Each structure stands twice: as C-alpha cells, then as structure tokens.
C-alpha cells in the first residue's frame, strides 16, 4: 500500500523543534542551521496544508495541530527506536565471537564448528585470531581457546581443558640425515652429542618447553634453536627439514601421512588448551549453546 507521508527528515526536524520549542536548540541537536530548520518546517506545513507553529520574536509555540502531530511523532519514533534496538540486540545475540590461533582454529575448532552449524544454521560465528597478541583481552570476545598449563584447576572462567601431550617430531629426510631410525621410536634415545646436533624449532613463549622435554628425557639441552612464532609456519618448517618441533595430536594428519615422525617415546605432559570465557560476561542463548557443544564434544580429531 502506498503511503502519502512527509519525508522522515522533515518529521525528525519537527519533533526536535516541538520538543525544545526552539528552532535554535533543534538546529544544535541535529547539527543543522536555524534557517535549515525553518525551511524544513515550512515545507512540512505546506505539504500537510496546516500550520504547526505560532511564531513570535523569541519563541515558537505549537498550534493545536502541532500538538497532535508532536504526540504522534514521539510515539512513532519511540516505537521505531525500540524496534531497531531489538533487531540490533537479536543480531548481536546471533553472532558469537571466538578467539583462537589459526593453528587451533584449523585443526581443532573448525570441524566442531562445522558440525555445530549443521544443527544451528542460524547462529553466526566470528573467528578472531588475536588470542596470541599482546593486546588480546578476554573480555573482548565471547569465548577463547588459549594455550595453557592443564592442571584441572578450579576456575569458573575455564570451561574446559584440552590436554595435549608434547613430543618431538621431525621430517623423514632430517632423521635419515642424522642417522635416526624412522621405523619406530628410539627407546634408548641417541647419545647426547648426536642429539645436540639437531636444530630445535621453537616459539616465543615465556617457558622453554624444549628445556622441559629434555629434563623429562634426562638429557641436557644444548641444541641450536630457531624462533618461529607462527605455529603453522613452524609445522611447515619441520616438514621441510629445518629441525625438530614439539608436536601435539593436532598434527595427527602429518603424523599419519609420515610427513613428520616422532623418533623418541618420551612425552611432556601437563600442557594443552583451555576454552575460556571472560569473568562477569553476560552469556546469551546462542553463546550458551555453542559453549555446551564445545565443552561436551570429544577430544579426539576425526
């Protein structure tokens, strides 16, 4: 149905002028000139063929028709504001923000999000990869998956721990070049002098996990180390034979395809990832659904 209504801008100008009973104050509120306010009001009066204001030297007053229109426009704008806010809230509820590194997002989170989206196709999920950034703040997202020490500690913000034992892996070419068997893990390890020739690929963590693994293996760390901060680049560097990396089960595809081989049986336990939420954050229904899904889904990578 076609509507014969004034332009919305004219109604906005009228409502502000009627509320303030001042063209000057309406102009300040709407960032317009006083003459522009007067022009819009005059156009509106010509369109509806009715005077809305009585004008004096220093003041304007609503006519009876102006009072009726003012009451109606206030009601309409209030309803419009309410509807727009509700739509905005609904849209914000539908979108869930999750912070995870690209490594975790691709190898652990993505298949689980795919299955979640099959059951909840209307829930939008926004992935953010700033979790390892120095500026990252947990309160800025709904959920986060971050690297941590897994010790089953009681923490209301730690929704789930995902333990990931760490173990050295290297490319078949690198291991062969060093004279290390690629058929089965060496239960006796190599002599320390031979092991110390292998370069170690590491990342910029405050803890030296390689040192911890060497301690578990009762060996002294003396290897050259190469810093590669990005986990995906570090994996590829290991595949290319640049050195050993500490792997976890998120690299199962590379292990199954024998792109990377674990030469030693010793593992470093007590680390992994945690599903986190910010303290005091209001959890909407959609976020709660995804949280329960990720908390209850299996640990294994299919």
Q: Is 168 helix (H, G, I), strand (E, B) or coil?
A: strand
* pLDDT tens per residue, range 151-192: 877 777 888 999 999 999 999 999 888 887 777 666 666 656
pLDDT of residue 135: 79
- Range with the lowest mean pLDDT among 79-93, 130-144, 146-160? 79-93
Mean pLDDT calculated for residue range 2-31: 84
Q: How far apart are CA 291 and CA 160, in angstroms?
A: 10
**Model confidence at 3: pLDDT above 70:** no
Mean pLDDT of the chain: 84
Cβ–Cβ < 8 Å for 99, 128: yes
- Asked whether residue 302 carries a pLDDT value surpassing 50, the answer given is no
Residue 1 scores a pLDDT above 60: no
* Residue 92 pLDDT: 53
Residue bearing the bigger pLDDT, 136 or 65:
65
Q: According to the model, what pLDDT value does residue 194 have?
A: 64
Q: Which residue has the higher pLDDT, 94 or 147?
A: 147
Distance from first CA to last CA of the chain, Å, rounded?
Answer: 55
Judge whether residue 145 has pLDDT over 90.
yes
Q: Residue 35: phi, psi to the nearest 5?
A: -65, -35
Interval 214-239 mean pLDDT: 87
The pLDDT tens digits of the residues spanning 241-291 come to 999 999 999 999 999 999 999 988 889 999 999 999 887 777 788 888 899
| CA–CA dist 42, 40 (Å, integer) | 5
pLDDT tier for residue 88 given thresholds of 50, 70 and 90: low
**Of residues 296, 251, 290, 295, the one with CA closest to residue 127:** 290
Q: Which domains does the chain possess?
A: 8-92 (1.10.10.10), 93-164+273-296 (3.40.190.10), 167-268 (3.40.190.10)
Please give the average per-residue pLDDT across 133-141, as a whole number.
Answer: 82
CA–CA distance, 67 with 62 (Å, rounded to integer): 6
What was the pLDDT predicted at 95? 79
């Amino acid at each position: 149905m076609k509507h014969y209504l004034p332009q919305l801008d004219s109604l906005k100008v009228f409502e502000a002028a009627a509320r303030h009973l001042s063209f000057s104050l309406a102009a300040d509120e709407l960032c317009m000139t006083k003459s522009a306010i007067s022009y819009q009001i005059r156009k509106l009066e010509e369109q509806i063929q009715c005077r809305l204001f009585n004008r004096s030297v220093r003041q304007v007053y609503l006519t009876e028709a102006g009072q009726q229109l003012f009451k109606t426009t206030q009601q309409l704008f209030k309803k419009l504001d309410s509807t727009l806010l509700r739509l905005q809230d609904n849209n914000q509820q539908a979108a869930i923000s999750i912070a995870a590194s690209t490594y975790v997002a691709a190898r652990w989170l993505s298949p689980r999000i795919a299955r979640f989206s099959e059951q909840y196709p209307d829930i939008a999920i926004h992935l953010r990869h700033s979790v390892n950034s120095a500026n990252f703040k947990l309160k800025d997202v709904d959920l986060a998956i971050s690297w941590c020490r897994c010790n089953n500690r009681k923490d209301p913000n730690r929704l789930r721990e995902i333990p990931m034992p760490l173990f050295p892996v290297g490319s078949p070419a690198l291991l062969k070049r060093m004279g290390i068997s690629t058929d089965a893990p060496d239960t006796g390890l190599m002599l320390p002098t031979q092991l110390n020739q292998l370069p170690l690929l590491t990342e910029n963590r405050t803890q030296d996990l390689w040192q911890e693994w060497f301690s578990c293996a009762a060996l002294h760390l003396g290897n050259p180390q190469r810093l590669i901060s990005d986990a995906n680049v570090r994996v590829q560097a290991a595949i290319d034979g640049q050195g050993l990396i500490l792997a976890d089960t998120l690299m199962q595809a590379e292990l199954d395809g024998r792109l990377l081989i674990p030469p030693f049986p010793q593992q470093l336990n007590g680390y992994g990832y945690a599903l986190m939420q910010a303290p005091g954050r209001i959890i909407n229904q959609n976020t709660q659904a995804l949280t329960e899904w990720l908390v209850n889904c299996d640990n294994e990578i299919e």
